[in-house]
Amino acid sequence: MQSIAAVLAEHPFMKGLTPRQLEVVAACGEKVHFKPGQFLCRDEEEVLRFYLVYQGRVAVEIFSHRRGAVTIRTLVEGEELGWLWFDKPYHWHLDARAVELTRTVALDVNCLRQACEADHDLGYEILKRYGHSLAVRFRILKLQLVDMYGG
């Protein structure tokens, strides 16, 4: 069975961190598995974990009173969920549920924030990855909007 640090070292989000940085991040994490249909998070709950998916699929959903749950994105192996821990008020604005058996490393966000504050080099590395992830998400959203509105 792989250690958390070994799983993190293989995850695209954590690639390039030093072994020491990986150990610091791993100390904030645990392996958490989700069965199909099980929620990783619910809208308006406090964000307590940042998830790195290393197996499975996760439907990211928003709820509409008219349409019910609408899947806006499906996360797969190598992706992450939970950037809302980076800035207050630290609450989810979406639901996420496992589509199939999903294995994650769940990082305690309070621990990770403290680690980033204590080690600014680590904080900078995490922030660079955060920025890249936001840029990718923006490009995806832009394409979805063009598809939706026929631009």
The pLDDT tens digits for 42-94 are: 999 999 999 999 999 999 998 888 888 989 889 999 999 987 666 777 888 89
Distances (CA, A) of 70 to 4, 6, 21, 39, 137: 32, 35, 37, 14, 17
Confidence (pLDDT) at 148: 65
Confidence (pLDDT) at 81: 94
CATH class of 4-144: mainly beta
How much is the pTM? 0.89
Confidence (pLDDT) at 151: 57
Given a contact cutoff of 8 angstroms between Cβ atoms, the answer to whether 108 and 55 are in contact is: no
Say how far apart CA 125 and CA 55 lie, in whole Å: 24
